[in-house]
């Protein structure tokens, strides 16, 4: 599923797509700082998911046979926005030299540990009122309770 980087994602105006690649579509390529890759990998160990996905998708950028399959997403709070990326973003960065936008990389490095009270507060602050229904539906609260 292709979505142009930094395009709106979903109903909340504060949510932006990053890393939704597809064969036949151009994407930024280059080297990314290893610390961004490492931090993103740690955030994807147990990513918070506001909803259950109905399935995943294989990487269609691989030349012969998909090497990776992904079904989760990662939500990264930024300055007044929440970046939403598929878990395949790590594979895209490593195997296909995808270079995420600089502002996303900065948000990844600044992101608090997944599921921590600081992460919850950062998501709420970055997403604003439009993002709150998703947080509440998932049982994520500002108080630090929930997933």
Using one digit for the tens of pLDDT, what is the confidence trace for 24-36? 999 999 999 999 9
Percent of the chain with pLDDT over 90: 60
Identity of the highest mean pLDDT range in 42-51, 60-69, 102-111: 102-111
Distance CA 18, CA 6 (A): 6
Query: Is the pLDDT assigned to residue 137 strictly greater than 60?
Result: no
Residue 113: which domain range? 15-137
Question: Is 60 a member of any domain?
Answer: yes
Quote the pLDDT of residue 75.
93
- Helix pair 34-43, 89-96: axis angle to 10 deg: 150
Q: How many domains does the chain have?
A: 1
Question: Is 22 a member of any domain?
Answer: yes
Quote the pLDDT of residue 141.
43
Question: Is 144 a member of any domain?
Answer: no
Question: Is 145 a member of any domain?
Answer: no
Question: Is 121 a member of any domain?
Answer: yes
Residue 51: burial class (beta carbons within 10 Å; 0-12, 13-18, 19+)? exposed
Question: Is 9 a member of any domain?
Answer: no
Question: Is 49 a member of any domain?
Answer: yes
Distance CA 87, CA 97 (A): 15
Three-state secondary structure call for residue 104: helix
């Amino acid at each position: 599923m292709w979505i142009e980087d930094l395009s709106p994602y979903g109903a909340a105006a504060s949510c932006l797509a990053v890393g939704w690649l597809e064969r036949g579509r151009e994407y930024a390529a280059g080297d990314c700082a290893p610390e961004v890759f490492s931090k993103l990998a740690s955030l994807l160990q147990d990513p918070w998911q506001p909803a259950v996905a109905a399935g995943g998708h294989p990487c269609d950028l691989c030349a012969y046979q998909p090497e990776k399959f992904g079904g989760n997403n990662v939500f990264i709070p930024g300055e007044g926005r929440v970046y939403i990326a598929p878990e395949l973003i790590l594979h895209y960065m490593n195997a296909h030299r995808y270079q995420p936008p600089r502002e996303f990389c900065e948000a990844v490095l600044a992101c608090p540990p997944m599921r921590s009270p600081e992460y919850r507060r950062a998501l709420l602050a970055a997403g604003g009122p439009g993002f709150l229904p998703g947080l509440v539906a998932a049982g994520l609260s500002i108080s630090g309770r929930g997933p």
